[in-house]
Amino acid sequence: MTPPHENAPTRAPLPPIEDLLERVHVVSLPLNTRFRGVEHREVALVDGRAGWAEFSPFTEYGDEEAATWLAAAIEAAELPSPVPTTGTVRVNATVPAVDRDEVPAVLARYDGCRTVKVKVAERGQSLADDVARVGAVRDVLGPDARLRVDANGGWSLTDAERAIDALAPFGLEYAEQPVATLDDLAALRRRLQRSGTPVRIAADESVRKAADPLAVVRAEAADLLVVKAQPLGGVRRAAELVREAGLPATVSSALDSSVGIVQGARLAALIAPDTERAGAPRGGFDAGLGTVSLFAAEVVPRPLVPRAGSIALRAVAPDPELLARHAVPRERDTWWRERIRRCHAVLTGRDRPA
Integer Cα distance of 52 and 259 in angstroms = 7
Residue 301: pLDDT over 60: yes
* DSSP state at residue 130: H
Neighbouring C-alpha atoms within 13 Å toward the C-beta of 74? 25
pTM for the full model? 0.93
- Model confidence over 120-154: pLDDT tens digits? 999 999 999 999 999 999 999 999 999 999 999 99
Q: Say if residue 6's pLDDT is above 80.
A: no
Average pLDDT in the 301-317 region? 96
Report the mean per-residue pLDDT for the chain.
Answer: 94
**Percent of the chain predicted with pLDDT > 70:** 96
Residue positions annotated with a catalytic role? 119, 228
Helices (H), 79-122: 103-107
Closest CA to 312 of 111, 121, 77, 142: 111
Q: Are 209 and 234 in contact (CB under 8 A)?
A: no
Mean of pLDDT values over 11-36: 93
CA angle 265, 295, 146 (to 5 degrees): 55
CA distances in angstroms from 99 to 135, 136, 296, 307, listed in the order given: 11, 9, 19, 25
pLDDT, tens only, 82-120: 999 999 999 999 999 999 999 999 999 999 999 999 999
DSSP conformational letter for 307: B
Confidence of residue 169 (pLDDT cuts 50, 70, 90): very high
DSSP helix, strand, coil percent of the chain (3-state; round to 5): 40, 20, 40
Average pLDDT over residues 320-326: 98
